[in-house]
Structure 1
Amino acid sequence: MRILCQAAQSVRNERGNHATRKPAKASVNLFEKDGAGYLVVHTEKSKGKGEKFALKANLNRCLAKFVHEGKLTIEFKEPSVNIMISKADPGQLKKLLSAIKTSFEGKTLVGVGVLTSATNKPVKIGKTTKINILSRDDYKTKLSKKSGIPAELEEFRCHGIGMKQIDMRLFKLRHLSVLDMTRNNLTTLNPKLFQLRLKALILSDNKLDERAFSKLKSSPIAESLQKLDLSVNKLHSLPSLCHFLKLSSLIIDKNIITRLPTRLPSTLTSLSARENKICFTEFPRFHKFINLNLSDNPFSMLHKFKVDTSKIPVSRTLAQVAAAKILKHKLQINPRKVPPTLNNLLESIRFCPCGEPLSDRKRMFLSGYDVRKYTSDKDTVAPMANNFVIPQIEFCCSNECFVKFSSTLQFEEDPPEPNSEDGMVVD
């Protein structure tokens, strides 16, 4: 029996003081030689056969109060050390404790099923679930062809080493949940990336544009991703994210984005789009945020730039009517099983301020969107200097809604500043 755990060693002196080593990943096992039992502790830094401790009449006590939590402390007489085991399997630890007691009494452990035939250090101790790469040397050492990438890896972070592509070996990992490629030179993304069921994807400070995400739509990653960071890239627009089922945090700061999507994932509660080129928003009025940061955008949309759509003849297609009905009745659909035309309409559909999905865009006006009313964060940043109200394009489902909301939500433009020269107002 070999127990994978964390182990720390404390050396006792005559005065009762302890010098304790930091806990490390370890492997603990028992073996017998000439009828005497021994406890062997291997750590990642152990050399040869690890540290061996005799058990027969060589124990002061075993502190087993928290063995059900995977913790056990063994006090040896010679040498004067304490072995502190933690993060072990409680069932295995109880068997080990029973075997230690048997061996302490001088009885054999043969036939008990706890002895190991080999005393050499195991090839691998514990599981490697996280890897952080901060330099080229790190990359060569931790991801060499000899060591490979651990199959159980859950988090991979690679910062600032100029990577132009994501390592293909990562696409084979079933347990990978966090991928962080901050400050590299990525310009394209392998479509296999979107087949991973990640919880967090961080691609900040690279050279990605919207073409890199052409295969993102309806991919398996949409079912699991909770955080997406695309800040400091070269995005002019965002990929469709409305089919993402768990996305709660989206960071797109410092890009060249001019418009935000008209339809957002219902789970999205945190959006940061600082320092882009956004002139107006089109958020559904029923969508509430916890954090919303739109600071340092121009928001230059004015009433005079608005197009009058009231006299444009509109003929609704069957797909437009179907898209509106799907959203109105909140029907769950698989985007991979519906026609592309319907999919595109579902992604770009607008909502009336009353919440009704629109199958046409006939009644339009420029409204004011007060970010404080749609966020729960008391420290919300004002998007326009000290002004919390930004221009938003609205479409209405009926003449009644148009009359009602165009009067109550109308965007109030700041009056133009008078021309002045030497302190005198010029007509």
Structure 2
Amino acid sequence: MKLQCDVEVVNRMLPTFGMKSRGKGTRAVLSIGKHMDKTAQRQGVFMMICTAKDRAGAKYKLKNNIEKFHTWFVEKGKATVRLKEPAVDICLSKADANSLKNFLSAARLADKGNDASSLPLSTLAPVRARDVEQPKKKLTIMSKKDYPLTSNFPYSLEQLQVSYCKLSRVDMRMLSLKALRKLDLSNNHIKKLPATIGDLSCLTELSLHNNQLEAFSEALCLSTLQQTLQVLDISQNRLRCLPAQFCQLRELVNLKLDDNQLECLPFHIGRLSKLRFLSAANNQLSGLPGDFRKLSLENLDLFGNPFIHANPLDHTMRLTFPLPLQELALRAVANLRIPYGPHLIPAHLCQELEVAKPCECGHICVNYYIETAVSMNLHQVSHTVVLVDNMGGTDAPVQQFFCSLSCYSEFLDLVLQRSVR
């Protein structure tokens, strides 16, 4: 049984002499195995700690020699083993949580004097220099021949780039790297993302540029990425749409959607209040959602989209007279801000309320409305704007909804008055 982690051996007699421990661990390899006990003149089970300065290792007897285990923070890779003789605390940190649990379990069995044949023992031998190096935090792999097939990725990685390796899917070994903050899988052949990417609770940057993605799953949008993800690059893929739940990724600061086949942006994109950099060039956008007005960007690039010419007189009529009872009820729930959820009303009605449309009058419409497009200068939402077309324009069409004929008529009157002026 072996374990790689940081170790500090603290003599409990130090305070007696007015001394303190360093409080800092050293990279080490811990082993549990058989060794000749010179005192008892027979073999016993020992723990050996090897460091860069002492690769031959220091050995500590285990049988009936462990006073206490401190395992409050074992899930974070930390634990302390208190020995009776010598009077030291062996403080472990920066360990893989599962490996640490297995190691402590073996140490407990050895302390109780279990038969050595039932223990997962190792050979107590000096270690190689590379085994006690500081944990690797950054790894870049840029060709298939360098890709690790027989060995695992260092568990301590915080940044991992694997590009030009022709990966067709995300390697599940990457998803066990709990310290990972930046994952770059650009320039591969990945078609689908596993929902377990959302288990990377420290991930702030994810790059999937130039792959073959056809969807971005709802599960990812509802995962822990909601609290951590700040940079997302899914440009140059095959995306046609993004789920409504995409706007739950509210920590996003930089979003790249260029060179896909997107026909629309998420309905509630205005909820991305921290978004500062947005690029969605070379897609199939004919217009922008009305919620786009709520953004406050530093840089915006929408070049190369087939935006329609905004004409308030061109409209889509989705009103019936009288309005169905369900529409009236949904409008009441939205306008009066009545709490709702799948435990109160059917789930499909909750989904309809999630994409309710605001009218110019301040009221809400759901499935029955008048829709048109109005022109908006993109400088209203962004400090810097890349030209929308080759004509030097910075205007784009934005959806506009009306809950009734009277609201639409009032809007047209205002438009006509402005044109006369």
TM superposition score normalised by structure 2: 0.60
**AA matched with 1:216:** L
Q: Number of matched residues?
A: 307
Aligned residue runs from structure 1 range 19-418, under 5 A: 42=52, 121=129, 123-140=131-148, 144-146=149-151, 148-197=152-201, 198-210=203-215, 213=217, 215-240=219-244, 241-264=246-269, 265-267=271-273, 268-284=275-291, 286-290=293-297, 291-301=299-309, 303=311, 306-310=315-319, 313-315=322-324, 317=326, 320-321=330-331, 324-325=334-335, 340-353=347-360, 356-375=363-382, 377=383, 379-384=384-389, 385-397=391-403, 401-408=407-414
Asked whether the equivalents of residues 365 and 406 of structure 1 are also in contact (C-alpha less than 8 Å), the reply is: no
Q: CA offsets per residue over residues 94-142 of structure 1, 9 Å max, x none?
A: xxxxxxxxxxxxxxxx99999xxx98647232222222111123213xx
Asked whether the equivalents of residues 262 and 349 of structure 1 are also in contact (C-alpha less than 8 Å), the reply is: no
* Helix, strand or coil at the partner of 1:256: coil
Change (3 A) 1:201 1:343: farther
Q: Distance in 1 between matches of 2:343 and 2:190?
A: 28
Q: CA offsets per residue over residues 316-361 of structure 1, 9 Å max, x none?
A: 53773476258x58x8x99999964245224423233466543354
Asked whether the equivalents of residues 368 and 409 of structure 1 are also in contact (C-alpha less than 8 Å), the reply is: no
Q: Distance in 2 between matches of 1:316 and 1:152?
A: 58
**AA matched with 1:221:** L
Deviation at 1:252, TM superposition (A): 0.9
Q: Distance in 2 between matches of 1:112 and 1:213?
A: 51
Asked whether the equivalents of residues 284 and 353 of structure 1 are also in contact (C-alpha less than 8 Å), the reply is: no
Q: Distance in 1 between matches of 2:165 and 2:130?
A: 33
Change (3 A) 1:130 1:371: same
Q: Distance in 2 between matches of 1:111 and 1:270?
A: 57
Q: Distance in 1 between matches of 2:343 and 2:177?
A: 24
Q: Distance in 2 between matches of 1:336 and 1:296?
A: 44
Gaps of 5+ in 1: 4-25, 29-40, 50-109, 414-427
Q: 2:32 aligns to what?
A: none
Q: Distance in 2 between matches of 1:351 and 1:272?
A: 26
* Helix, strand or coil at the partner of 1:259: coil
* Helix, strand or coil at the partner of 2:318: coil
What's the % identity of the aligned pairs? 24
* Helix, strand or coil at the partner of 1:284: helix
Q: Distance in 2 between matches of 1:337 and 1:171?
A: 37
Q: Distance in 2 between matches of 1:354 and 1:348?
A: 18
Asked whether the equivalents of residues 154 and 177 of structure 1 are also in contact (C-alpha less than 8 Å), the reply is: yes
Q: 1:17 aligns to what?
A: none
Kindly report structure 1 stretches of 4+ aligned residues shifted beyond 6 Å.
Answer: 110-114, 333-338
Give the number of the structure whose residues are more often helix, by fraction.
2
Q: Distance in 2 between matches of 1:337 and 1:125?
A: 57
Change (3 A) 1:254 1:336: farther
Q: Distance in 1 between matches of 2:27 and 2:198?
A: 37
Gaps of 5+ in 2: 1-5, 9-25, 29-50, 57-85, 91-124
**AA matched with 1:130:** K
* Helix, strand or coil at the partner of 1:324: helix
Deviation at 1:151, TM superposition (A): 2.3
